[in-house]
Amino acid sequence: MPTYEYECESCGHRFEIKQKISDAVIEECPQCQGKTRRLIQGGSGFILKGFSTEQNQQKPRCGQSTPCCGRDIPCGDKPSCE
């Protein structure tokens, strides 16, 4: 469940609350009952475990200077990388 940060436009009070994405926006400050606005946060990003964005830049494990491991250029005399 994401955490959202709010700020009161009247008193400046900031608070965080865990909400479902489908939950309604909090419109009232818990301290002064003034109008609030939800702040945009940077977040931690989206991570896929076991996935590399640099997959096409992998160095071959066979020691050759040309790409292998399923690429168009073979490793030569050595067995192909797995």
Domain annotation covers residue 10: yes
Three-class SS state of 55: helix
* Total number of domains in the chain: 1
pLDDT value for 56: 52
Provide the residue range defining the domain that includes 13.
3-39
Domain annotation covers residue 72: no
Domain annotation covers residue 82: no
Residue 40 CB neighbour total at 10 angstroms: 7
Adjacent-strand bridge partners of 35: 28
At CA 64, angle to CA 58 and CA 67, rounded to 5? Answer: 40
Tens-place pLDDT, residues 45-58: 666 676 665 555 55
Distance from C-alpha of 73 to C-alpha of 82, rounded to nearest angstrom: 14
Domain annotation covers residue 19: yes
Percentage of residues in the chain having pLDDT higher than 90? 43
